[in-house]
Structure 1
Amino acid sequence: MNFLLHNPTRLHFGKGKLENLKNEIKNGTKVLLTYGSGNIKKFGLYDEVLKILKELNCEVHELSGIEPNPKLSSVRKGVEICKNNNIDLILAVGGGSVIDASKAISIGAKSNCDVWDLIIKKETPSDRVPLGAVLTLSATGTEMNPNSVITNEETKQKVGFAHPPYTFPVFSILDPTNTFTVPRNQTVNGIVDTISHLLEQYFNKSENGELVDRFCESSISYMMEIAPKLLENLEDYSLREAMMYTSFVALNGSLSVCGGDWSTHGIEHSVSGIFDISHGEGLAIITPHWMKYVARKNPSKVIKLGERVFKLKKEGISDIDFCDKVADSFKNFFKQIGVSTSLKECGINEESLEDLVENTFVLGDVIGEYVQLRRDDVREILKMSM
């Protein structure tokens, strides 16, 4: 292992932590409040946040309607608001999409170039408008990492980026009660996303990453254990708390010290960039087929995963057959919790195959670390996923 680990985000975790906004925001701050479809108004969180901001004599501007796959057009609107009103702080109240968009707005507001050039790393930021977050959906871990994913709706390109330290939230507030109103389908997508982040980091090529591997294995097992229970009772505090904690630990940098593969995310970004399906659904579809494909080239980690997470016995079974059983075990779990497991279920067929392949390679000609993939490889994985 060879790494530098630094995470500057202050995390306020637990019931009633919204009050800590009063300690994080200075009196008289000019705030851009960002949020999504308006559920925070429906369930009262908007009023709670606004009450605190008014107590602090904040000048509040708003950007609402940020999409589940956040669009470049929304980011550009936020950048314009920040520049026109000399915004001091962006406060994102929502899930991963709202926070991701707000990260892009944060660096775009302090740059002279178009924000898309920062997203595709044609340009590099040198400053930002500070960002705070109030999380309402556990999934991406964006509340404690520098990562963001933005879709350019004109080109259909969905690009993940990070510009540390500028895209780290300064602070994030995580109260599990704020996730009670997340509907079942979004909870399912969050479960898949969390498991996928753990898998992406599990499939690294480190020679001494056993502790990271074991943490990923135990966390995947734990998420698969609590998922059915949570889906039966969406307002169970202890289960919401457990999911919220696992989601941010899964992608706050501590498990990334050995590297990771991330090709499943790359392929999924192409799919949801073009067809606007939910990120979690796309990951549930791609992951088992990616696993089967890469196992033909390097079965070692898939075998270890099957033995440790699913307690499968390998005696008398070929490597490929065993790895297929592991991949099918994940696929069956995803089916069990009610998420699609084929692209055709989402109305996507082979007519779109070449567009999906090309859209996967927006930033280069190779993806993946555990097994490097090129266009022919991705084409086969997508065919298997149909």
Structure 2
Amino acid sequence: MFNFDYSIPTQVFFGKDQISVLGKQIKRYGSKVLIVYGGGSIKKNGIYDKAVKILKENKIRFWELSGVDPNPRISSVRCGIHICRENRLDFILAIGGGSVIDCSKAIAAGFYYGGDPWDIVVDSSKIKKALPIASILTLAATGSEMDKFAVITNEETKEKLGTGSKCLIPVFSILDPSYTFTVPKGQTAAGTADIMSHILENYFNNTKGAFIQNRMAEALLKTCIKYGPIAIGEPDNYDARANLMWTSSLAINGLIEYGKKKGWSVHGMEHELSAFYDITHGVGLAILTPNWMEYVLDENTVNNFAEYGVNVWDIDKGKDKFHIAHEAIDKTKEFFKLLGLPSKLSELNIGDENFEKMAEGATRHGKLGEFKPLSKEDVVNIYKASL
């Protein structure tokens, strides 16, 4: 295990009716707020009205940026920055899932940046300061409510890139599991796959001696396996929604990553996929993950997969380690199918016409990943195996 600095500064208000703290918490940071949200579901389920009522009661003025897309666009970021600057706003409140929060983070950083905000997506070192951000979470998936990262799409160049800075970590987040009761089955399934992918990207890693991180990761994976199907079958099951929501935050807030080498694989491939085809992130991850697993399985990695099979999928440890590994990969693929997710790119009418370009983008900074570094050719092969 490597040295690390532990800091997860977001204050989390978890549980029913925790939105009641909203006014008091915002006033610690400002009184002129930009509310950022997506397609309007928060108005249908009443969350918007609750938030606005609290803001008005606390004499907090607010402006709005609506219509943020599932793969948030740099054009929305530019619009948000303009609103904040024009009105001298001092706080951003994201109400939604990861896309809304990511867009808010980019706006917060872009507010203080003199050039085009795409610059700070391409090069996170340009982020020096940001407006304070808070979130009211409505979808368990990305973990953006408790981390420093944002993923933004440039619709003109067909690029989807991640950026990050400690100053982008939300100062507080309100996590009320009941706010996810109305999330459609497909989004719940994709969100579960996204959470699992975050865990797996940290779990399959070459760092030695990270025993505690791996055991925590396995517990989080088993939580997704237990409660993902329940949340889909019983949308208003509070315990299922609560466990998925908290797992989403813990999966990517640094807890299971501290002390390990950095370097993810599947996310880099999927970002290219959704940049070109605008598909749901979790869907792309569910398709690519089992094929990536099969591709990187060899004598050097088999012990990791055998451990995964035994500890996560309860496969008999007495079996041959390659048999355990293949069975674990099959179980992963079947679980995503059980959630109702597609298992092939062809199911989304995606062919191989852009694989070369996508693979080139995924490896623009060199080989992809740390567990088994992937060349451009490797990435193309994984895309092909996913057809």
TM-score where L is the length of structure 1? 0.96
Structure 1 residue aligned with 2:229 = 228
- Give the deviation of 1:260 after TM superposition: 4.6
Structure 2 residue aligned with 1:163 = 165
Secondary structure class of the residue paired with 1:90: strand
Q: Does 1:325 align with 2:335?
A: no
Structure 1 residue aligned with 2:107 = 105
Structure 2 residue aligned with 1:142 = 144
Secondary structure class of the residue paired with 2:24: helix
- Give the deviation of 1:289 after TM superposition: 0.5
- Does structure 2 conserve the Cα–Cα contact (< 8 Å) formed by 1:203 and 1:261? no
What letter is aligned with 2:63?
H
Between the two proteins, the alignment pairs up a number of residues equal to 383
- Give the deviation of 1:339 after TM superposition: 0.2
Alignment partners' CA distance in 2, 1:212 and 1:18: 32
- Give the deviation of 1:113 after TM superposition: 1.6
Structure 1 residue aligned with 2:266 = 264
What letter is aligned with 1:31?
V
What letter is aligned with 1:256?
E
Structure 2 residue aligned with 1:41 = 43
- Does structure 1 conserve the Cα–Cα contact (< 8 Å) formed by 2:90 and 2:131? yes
Match runs of 1:326-365 below 5 Å: 326-362=328-364, 364-365=365-366
Structure 1 residue aligned with 2:309 = 306
Secondary structure class of the residue paired with 2:354: helix
Structure 1 residue aligned with 2:22 = 21
Structure 1 residue aligned with 2:292 = 290
- Does structure 2 conserve the Cα–Cα contact (< 8 Å) formed by 1:131 and 1:171? yes
Change (3 A) 1:316 1:189: closer
Secondary structure class of the residue paired with 1:151: strand
Alignment partners' CA distance in 2, 1:76 and 1:290: 35
Change (3 A) 1:380 1:314: farther
Structure 2 residue aligned with 1:197 = 198
- Does structure 1 conserve the Cα–Cα contact (< 8 Å) formed by 2:223 and 2:243? no
Q: 1:59-108 CA distances to partner (integer Å, 9 max, x unpaired)?
A: 21100000001011111111111111111100000001000000000000
Select which of 57, 60, 79 maps to 1:58.
60
Alignment partners' CA distance in 1, 2:140 and 2:361: 28
Alignment partners' CA distance in 2, 1:311 and 1:93: 38
Alignment partners' CA distance in 1, 2:84 and 2:116: 14
Structure 1 residue aligned with 2:377 = 376
Alignment partners' CA distance in 2, 1:152 and 1:17: 35
Decide which moves more: 66-75 or 252-261: 252-261
Alignment partners' CA distance in 1, 2:268 and 2:233: 32
Alignment partners' CA distance in 2, 1:280 and 1:260: 21
Structure 2 residue aligned with 1:71 = 73
Decide which moves more: 24-33 or 371-380: 24-33
Structure 1 residue aligned with 2:280 = 278
Percentage identity across aligned positions? Answer: 42
Q: 1:332-371 CA distances to partner (integer Å, 9 max, x unpaired)?
A: 1111110011111111112222122122134x02210111
Structure 1 residue aligned with 2:121 = 119
- Give the deviation of 1:380 after TM superposition: 1.1
- Does structure 2 conserve the Cα–Cα contact (< 8 Å) formed by 1:33 and 1:93? yes
- Does structure 1 conserve the Cα–Cα contact (< 8 Å) formed by 2:124 and 2:164? no
Secondary structure class of the residue paired with 2:252: coil
What letter is aligned with 2:354?
S
What letter is aligned with 1:223?
C
Alignment partners' CA distance in 1, 2:235 and 2:319: 42
What letter is aligned with 2:307?
K
- Does structure 2 conserve the Cα–Cα contact (< 8 Å) formed by 1:342 and 1:385? yes
Alignment partners' CA distance in 2, 1:57 and 1:358: 51
Alignment partners' CA distance in 1, 2:302 and 2:377: 20
Structure 2 residue aligned with 1:219 = 220
- Give the deviation of 1:122 after TM superposition: 6.5
What letter is aligned with 2:7?
H
Q: Which runs of 5+ in 1 are unaligned?
A: none
- Does structure 1 conserve the Cα–Cα contact (< 8 Å) formed by 2:302 and 2:321? no
- Give the deviation of 1:285 after TM superposition: 0.4
Q: 1:118-163 CA distances to partner (integer Å, 9 max, x unpaired)?
A: 1111651221111111111111111011011101111111101111
